Amino acid sequence: MNTSAKNYPLLLLALLVTACGAATELTEGNPPTQGITAQVSGNNLTGDHGTVYGGGAVTITLTGPVEQGTPVTWSVSQGAIVGQGLSATLPYNDINRQVLTGQPITVTATVTTPLGAVPITVPLRVDDQAPRANGGVTATVPGRPAFFIGENAELSGTATFQASFTDDGVGLNPVKLSAYLRGLPVLGDVRAASELPEARGYTLRVDVISDRLGNRVDVPPGTVAGPFNVDLTAPVVTGSAPQGARIQDSTVLTFTGTDPLRADRTPGSGGVTLTSDQGGTGSSNTLTLTGAQLRAGGASGPVTITVTATDAAGNSTTFIQTVTLE
């Protein structure tokens, strides 16, 4: 016996679809499908934007008063979907890894009944996109902006390391850096140069960059920063005159900065620069100051001279020289 939609009284039928707390309503004239639900399964996390799926295949399954073998056509508003019968999968493939970034999408299951096609919609957020490996590892030291660690960079103990990779979806997992010295592992999860012994020839490596759903950028074993050097020791300053020396205008005071060897017995960072609160003339690793220059600056009698020496890594020290200007 033929049955048509005209034989049904006009009713307002509600279809609840269980997916991210959403509900879809069927209005009068549609075939009676009340009670069919859509269950979503897959790796997920819940945050400010509700539940976000991703990092693997996501499956949507129709349950309730719908028989196996009922024709169902599946579609998705963005990306790729593979549907068969009452179940469909958003595959974890190249297409979805490119376009599914946690923004809202809609999966539609069109159920074919003797009375016509009934669309069931399931709103979802899916993030299958890996983080962008467009950054790198930077160092930060007090008083200067973050900088990429160039080859043979000299770092002091104040330097901290940051991974500057980015993610457009659910956000990055912490990126763990491992320090190697001339190819040998030294320390995992290193965050600051002060955690490393003084030495030349460090590199930083990272095994994986992933977001909170597990989408990952596989990094070939190798260097992401360096080679760089760690220098934790400040220069040593010596003066040519004894403390309390009596000097004339013609006297030349010479201050010399020397950078000690590192703990691994390699040369320090070098490049020592010297400055003085009384002026003077600086050149490579030295500063000269005459009695005449002191007098021109208003000094006479007992004078205290403060010399500051800074090496290429940023380590600094001060040296106090006392003299009497006659």
Give the model confidence (pLDDT) of 244-294 as tens digits.
999 999 999 999 999 999 999 999 999 999 999 999 999 989 999 999 999
Least confidently predicted of 91-95, 169-173, 186-190: 169-173
* Angle at CA of residue 217, ends 211 and 223, nearest 5°: 120
Sorting pLDDT into bands at 50, 70 and 90, what band is 207?
A: confident
Sorting pLDDT into bands at 50, 70 and 90, what band is 222?
A: low
The more confident residue out of 94 and 208 is: 94
- Confidence at residue 33, expressed as pLDDT on a 0 to 100 scale: 55
Domain assignments of the chain as residue spans, ordered by start: 5-127, 137-230, 236-325
- Confidence at residue 31, expressed as pLDDT on a 0 to 100 scale: 52
- The whole-number average pLDDT for the span 201-228 is 85
The pLDDT of residue 117 is above 90? no
The DSSP bridge partners found for residue 148 are: 138
**What is the CATH code for 5-127?**
2.60.40.10
Burial class (CB in 10 A: 0-12, 13-18, 19+), 248: exposed
- Confidence at residue 255, expressed as pLDDT on a 0 to 100 scale: 98
Distance, CA of 39 to CA of 125 (rounded, Å): 14
- The whole-number average pLDDT for the span 212-229 is 83
pLDDT tens sequence across 10-53: 222 333 333 333 333 333 344 555 678 899 999 999 988 799 99
Find the Cα–Cα–Cα–Cα dihedral 27, 28, 33, 37, rounded to 10°. Answer: 10
- Confidence at residue 135, expressed as pLDDT on a 0 to 100 scale: 66
Report yes or no: 130 and 120 within 8 Å, Cβ to Cβ: no
The more confident residue out of 256 and 151 is: 256
The pLDDT of residue 88 is above 70? yes
Q: Class of 236-325 per CATH? A: mainly beta
Instruction: Check if 5-127 and 236-325 are the same fold.
Output: yes
The pLDDT of residue 113 is above 90? no
Distance, CA of 90 to CA of 151 (rounded, Å): 44
List of residues 6+ apart from 289 with CB closer than 8 A: 252, 253, 255, 276, 278, 279, 280, 281, 305
Least confidently predicted of 32-41, 149-158, 230-239: 32-41
